Structure 1
Amino acid sequence: MMDFANIDDARKLAQAIVNTIHDPLLVLDGNFFVLAASRSFYHTFKADPELTRGRLLFSLGDGQWDIPALRLLLETIIPTHAAMDGLEVEHDFPLIGRRTMLLNARQVIYDNEMSATILLAFTDVTARRTTQRDRDKLLERSEELLRQKEILLQEMQHRVANSLQIIASILLLKARIVTSEETRRDLQDAHQRLMSVAEVQRHLHVTHGIDQIDVGPYLSKLCASLCTSMTGSAQPIEISVICEDARISSDHAVSLGLIVTELTINAIKYAFPNFKADANVLISYEVDENDWKLVVSDNGIGKNEGPVAEAGGGLGTAIIQALVKQLGAQIELTSNRAGTIISITRATFVSRVPKAA
């Protein structure tokens, strides 16, 4: 233990230790008079050392330190608990303005138990709290904008659905009254494709932010609806979806949904002209970083083998080719007596999913 020649040496050492503390620090006696203060205290609060040392804390600066929360800490909490950390106090100081401070206090009781010293430290968290409040306001504003955007999106989807329903009803009405069989088939074909668009729109749910769609649930709901509306008891067809965990933008989802709808309807209509007990259509979607592969396969009667681009076809083929081009992908058709496989691939992709059997 170090020996001091006199009490002044001990006081000088104590003051030197206090001055090394980065945060403002006060040393108080048991009656809350200031025994010592750190340089940081004088600098932060612009206090005069001559008007600080030996003075009652609550009388400093013409009473600016007579703060109710500080009195509660020193007069009530410290005598009971001997220590307190992180008591937040917001106060207007005449020379430095409004500040938010975290107060940490420790009571030091000496061996004779007749006297005690209180160490009181201040941490200025004004800038931190201001930043936090600004961040909270920005977050609140962002959440409100997202909420408004969600409402607008729902309203837009509702209006689009109503508009599609009206147009579909008009097409169906026209198909019933025209005399030309060819015109009737064209109108019915247009009605069916319009209903496909409506089905895609109905199943387009935003799940991860305003523009991100979970592919698996989206395609599963879409195909389940197609299975219910397109397949009958005379020729039941199982439609299944195998999809890796992936999310895509809403515009990508619309194109993908329309392609799947068109190909699935074609398979339902043309792949099984005769009854087949195990008739099925399989839709698979795989991803490899930025690349992806969509496959629609069936175990029907098949058709001429070759690329879709060279296979001819009507309006449906033209729609599919346009959508595939829009997605920056390539399309290929292979078919034989075991069924038909239509692959749509973005970049080079080796499939890991078995085809319909």
Structure 2
Amino acid sequence: MKSFRNTADAQLLAQAIVNTIPEPFLVLDADFSVLAASRSFYQTFGVSPDSTLGSILFDLGSGQWDIPALRELLGTLVPSKTTLDGFEVRHDFPGLGERVMVLNARTIVYDDGATSTILLTFRDVTHSRLIEAQRAELLAKAEDLLRQKDILLHEMEHRVANSLQIIASILMLKARAVTSEETRHHLQDARQRVLSVAAVQSHLHASEGIDRIEFSTYLEKLCSSLGASMIGEGQSIEIRVIAQPGSVESARAVSLGLIVTELVINAIKYAFPADSEGSVVLVTYEINGPDWKLVVSDNGVGKPSGGPPEEGGLGTIIVKALVDQLGAQMELTSSHSGVTVSITRATFASHMPIAV
């Protein structure tokens, strides 16, 4: 400023700088009289320089700035050299309607220590506040819809669980009533398939989710249930589960659960024709990113002729259909030391035991 020839030139530059500020802007003296105002201030609030310059801030317009809290805050600026940030004013301005303005202020104290000015900016945040209010309203509605959805889901889960238990009970009653041993076995197998689906459903309910479940926990509970219902008192068969922790989609969990049910039932029924100590059915599950491997093996007598269902058996048909549905490949190996069924999604290098 020292390069200017006179004070008038410096004032002209200062006013030009003020006018370039896009937001309404005021320069006040220590008594809050307006020394300068930006062009945007005049345009925004529809006032003239004659009614603005030299007037006290709190007397401008219809007295919209005569706010006790604002008076108090501005009154602390000069003596303490502090700043004012984010002071919000909501007012029905003439010609503008209701607006929300955010005020920010800075104090400049000159070298003599006795002279100071206040720089005051006004920012119209009406639109952003409206968007925030709409967003909050939409969020509240979304949360309400989610609560309603949860209530409906819990009700649906409860009804599905009851329905599956009723079906399983009916199948058990029918199995006890029929005289044909073959029919009885088919009904018992069907009951286990229903219970397998019910186990997934109950696990989904316990995990409070409908998309994914912790599969290792589900697999352990499923195999425990299969052992309790399928292994007779005179059989010394153990079902072991080795599964890596990780969640899977509920749809895949249902399919894998049905596969495990079929293979474990098959092993219990055919792998151990004579009771012997150390009879084991081993179920392993590994994951590697999007790929996985499920193996059900036993240390029984292998696949005897006339034992497990052949190509047309219902259990075999179900397993193959589910494997295809999962986009996986199935491999069966049999020897005198047992049967191993491996179901693999993509190329998978196993690090778990696949036989017992």
For residue 284 of structure 1, what is the aligned residue in structure 2? 285
Measured against aligned partners, the alpha-carbon deviations of 1:227-283 in whole angstroms (never above 9, x if no partner) come to 5555578525242232364542x3333222222232233334433444343724122
Measured against aligned partners, the alpha-carbon deviations of 1:47-86 in whole angstroms (never above 9, x if no partner) come to 3233222111122112233244433431356654621222
Q: Is the 8 A contact 1:282 1:356 kept in 2?
A: no
Measured against aligned partners, the alpha-carbon deviations of 1:69-106 in whole angstroms (never above 9, x if no partner) come to 43343135665462122233333322222333332211
Give me the whole-angstrom Cα distance separating, in 2, the residues matched to 1:210 and 1:171: 27
Measured against aligned partners, the alpha-carbon deviations of 1:92-134 in whole angstroms (never above 9, x if no partner) come to 3222223333322112222333332111122333333322332
Unaligned runs of 5+ in 2: none
Q: Is the 8 A contact 1:206 1:213 kept in 2?
A: no
Give the TM-score normalised by the residue count of structure 1.
0.84
Q: 1:267 to 1:177 in 2, by over 3 A?
A: closer
Offset of residue 214 of structure 1: 4.1
Unaligned runs of 5+ in 1: none
Q: Is the 8 A contact 1:206 1:212 kept in 2?
A: no
For residue 342 of structure 1, what is the aligned residue in structure 2? 341
For residue 255 of structure 2, what is the aligned residue in structure 1? 255
Q: Is the 8 A contact 2:303 2:339 kept in 1?
A: yes
For residue 21 of structure 2, what is the aligned residue in structure 1? 21
- Which residues in structure 2 correspond to 1:1-357 (within 5 Å)? 2-76=2-76, 79-80=79-80, 82-205=82-205, 210-227=210-227, 230=230, 235-243=236-244, 245-248=246-249, 250-273=250-273, 274-277=275-278, 279-289=280-290, 291-303=291-303, 311-312=310-311, 314-346=313-345, 348-354=346-352, 355-357=354-356
Q: Is the 8 A contact 1:204 1:218 kept in 2?
A: no
Q: Is the 8 A contact 2:236 2:279 kept in 1?
A: no
Q: Is the 8 A contact 2:282 2:355 kept in 1?
A: yes
Give me the whole-angstrom Cα distance separating, in 1, the residues matched to 2:33 and 2:206: 64
- What is the SS of the residue equivalent to 1:198? helix
Of the structure 1 ranges 189-198 and 147-156, higher mean CA displacement relative to structure 2 is found in: 189-198
Give the TM-score normalised by the residue count of structure 2.
0.84
- What is the SS of the residue equivalent to 1:155? helix
Q: 1:206 to 1:171 in 2, by over 3 A?
A: closer
Q: Is the 8 A contact 2:267 2:281 kept in 1?
A: no
Aligned-pair identity in percent equals 57
Q: Is the 8 A contact 2:295 2:343 kept in 1?
A: yes
Q: 1:211 to 1:58 in 2, by over 3 A?
A: same
Q: Is the 8 A contact 1:203 1:221 kept in 2?
A: no
Q: Is the 8 A contact 1:246 1:287 kept in 2?
A: no
Give me the whole-angstrom Cα distance separating, in 2, the residues matched to 1:242 and 1:235: 23
- What is the SS of the residue equivalent to 1:302? coil
What root-mean-square deviation, in Å, do the aligned CA atoms of Structure 1 and Structure 2 show?
Answer: 3.2
Of the structure 1 ranges 227-236 and 124-133, higher mean CA displacement relative to structure 2 is found in: 227-236
Offset of residue 27 of structure 1: 0.8
Measured against aligned partners, the alpha-carbon deviations of 1:148-181 in whole angstroms (never above 9, x if no partner) come to 2222122111111111222222222233333333
Amino acid at match of 1:17: I
Give me the whole-angstrom Cα distance separating, in 2, the residues matched to 1:269 and 1:77: 88
